[in-house]
Amino acid sequence: MTTQRVTVVEKILNANDQLAAQNKARLDAAGIFSINIMASPGAGKTSVILNTIKALMPDIRLGVIEGDTAPVTIDADKVTAAGMPAVQINTGGDCHLDAAMIKDALNQLPLESLDIIIIENVGNLVCPAAWDLGTHANVLIASIPEGDDKPYKYPNIYRGLDVLILNKMDLLPYINFNTDYFKQGVEMLNPGLITFPVSCKTGEGLSAWADWLKSHLKRKG
């Protein structure tokens, strides 16, 4: 049973990886830079996305794909209210997005007029780490209130990252969060990982994060 289960999982992941490669090729052809944002619930994914939109408007057009386990459009509605197109994916209870869901969502976005697509994955520090979506970068948003031990408890998601955003820096004076201990855990798993300490409340670090995104824009045509 164990061997059979492993084989089935491997086949599913292989099929997902093939679709992910197709997604990336499609995004490349459209001249779009894409990121997969992962985080635990409450880390501030939507707040960071909304502030990113604000920092890049009006010169850069973003599309957002919102993943959720329930049929709610709260986050997608916030994005469209900010002036950018959004697609909501209801995973039906699944703890992560997959490449097939992203393929369908891309069909609902105006790719020809977008520069960046941000995917907000389901709030979870375990499942999303294993599923390639076809994006160009994997981004994790950690936050001060979550505690400084997350790299030690959830190593897999930190290993596969291209960028780490440490959110809610404005709370650092009020919460027992050892930044050196946190950074040590990150460095062990992902040496030299690009990290942006930010605060959506004060604006700290958001311009540096926006500049990083701008530096990865692809040339249209």
Q: Is residue 34 part of a domain?
A: yes
- pLDDT top residue among 107 and 72: 107
* pLDDT band, residue 1 (cuts 50/70/90): very low
Q: What is the pTM for the complete model shown? A: 0.92
Q: Is residue 56 part of a domain?
A: yes
Domain that holds residue 111: 2-215
Q: Is residue 158 part of a domain?
A: yes
* pLDDT band, residue 7 (cuts 50/70/90): low
Looking at residue 200, which CATH number applies to its domain?
A: 3.40.50.300
- Mean pLDDT across 106-115: 96
Q: In what helix (H) or strand (E) does residue 119 lie, and over which residues does it extend?
A: strand 116-120
Q: Is residue 105 part of a domain?
A: yes
* Residue 31 three-state SS: coil
- 209 touches 137 (CB < 8 A): no
Separation between Cα atoms, residue 89 and residue 98, nearest integer Å: 11
- Mean pLDDT across 103-115: 97
Q: Is residue 221 part of a domain?
A: no
Percent of the chain topping pLDDT 90: 82
pLDDT score, position 181? 98
* pLDDT band, residue 17 (cuts 50/70/90): very high
Number of independent structural domains in the chain: 1
Q: Is residue 175 part of a domain?
A: yes
pLDDT, tens digit, 9 for 90 and up, residues 24-45:
999 999 999 999 999 999 999 9
Q: Is residue 167 part of a domain?
A: yes
